[in-house]
Amino acid sequence: MTEVILGQKYRDSVSGWVGVATARYEYMNGCVRIELSGADKDGKPDGYVVDIQQVEEVEGSVPVVRRETGGARSNRPVRR
């Protein structure tokens, strides 16, 4: 797998962990890792970072809707 969509649900093919892709990390050596966030067996928030080659899309999952955060901002530079 080469393209991972943040907000989509994936499974780690090694551990079986299922979670929503919440972050993508790219390292200088070319390694790409994906953070899968979900809940542990007790329902507490948990997550794992795995190599992109290990993730497989979960059939029938619906992407989480991303929202803008931080409120209204001006793109003009601040003058001091």
Q: How far is CA 54 from CA 40, 57, 66, in A?
A: 19, 10, 24
Name the residue with higher pLDDT: 40 or 57: 57
Query: In degrees rounded to 5, what are phi and psi of residue 47?
Result: -165, 160
* Local structure of 36: helix, strand or coil: strand
- For 23-27, what is the mean pLDDT? 95
- Taking 60 as the threshold, does the pLDDT of residue 37 lie above it? yes
> If pLDDT is split at 50, 70 and 90, which confidence band does 34 have?
very high
pLDDT tens-digit series, residues 6-18: 889 999 999 999 9
Question: pTM for this structure?
Answer: 0.71
